[in-house]
Amino acid sequence: MIQTFQKFFYQFLLLYRPFENQLNALLGKHGLYRAQWTVLYYLFNFGPATLVELASYQSVEKPTMTRTVQRLKELGYLEAVPTKDKREKRMQLTEAGVSVYQEVRLTIDAFEEKIIEGISEEEQLEAIRLMKDIQQKITKWEMEM
């Protein structure tokens, strides 16, 4: 007998691929990729962050984030902000970074608005809550393992 939660997670996986494909297609026009985009999103909305903060927030390992950040730095979208602790590198968006984010945001907005059409704000908020909840439970599970 097929359980509802099994369907739920299968559908989650099914949705991911076409979403990422289209996202990358749109980002590609600006020379960006998903992994870079989520870093821009984070820095634009939450302000400066260290590599460890970014890696932990996005659930990837430090070397993965090092590479993503390096690419964004090469593109001129990121710069270091000096801190007391000489080990850490706190990063923030450059002017170019802010303006490329805002420009790309328009393209992505058009896409996201289109595909979420017909779903009320309440439902969206409810879904966000649900996803956050699951994510927290995964973190808890990881710690217990």
Partner DNA sequence: TAAAATAGTTAGCCTGGGTAACCATTTCAA
Partner DNA sequence: TTGAAATGGTTACCCAGGCTAACTATTTTA
> Hey, which residues between 51 and 70 contact DNA (CB under 7 A)?
51-53, 58-64, 66-70
- Sequence letter at residue 10: Y
User: Residue 59 — φ and ψ, nearest 5°?
Assistant: 55, 45
Check: CB of residue 36 under 8 Å from CB of residue 68.
yes
Residue range at the interface with its own copies (CB under 8 A); choices 73-81, 82-90, 92-100, 117-125: 117-125
User: Residue 81 — φ and ψ, nearest 5°?
Assistant: -110, 130
Instruction: With CA atoms as reference, report the closest residue to 66 among 79, 81, 78, 51.
Output: 51
Q: How far is the CB of 80 from its own copies (least distance, A)?
A: 24
| 126 near its own copies (CB under 8 A) | yes
Residues near its own copies (CB under 8 A) are 2-19, 21-22, 25, 34, 38, 41, 45, 57-60, 109, 111-119, 121, 123-128, 130-135, 137-139, 141-142, 145
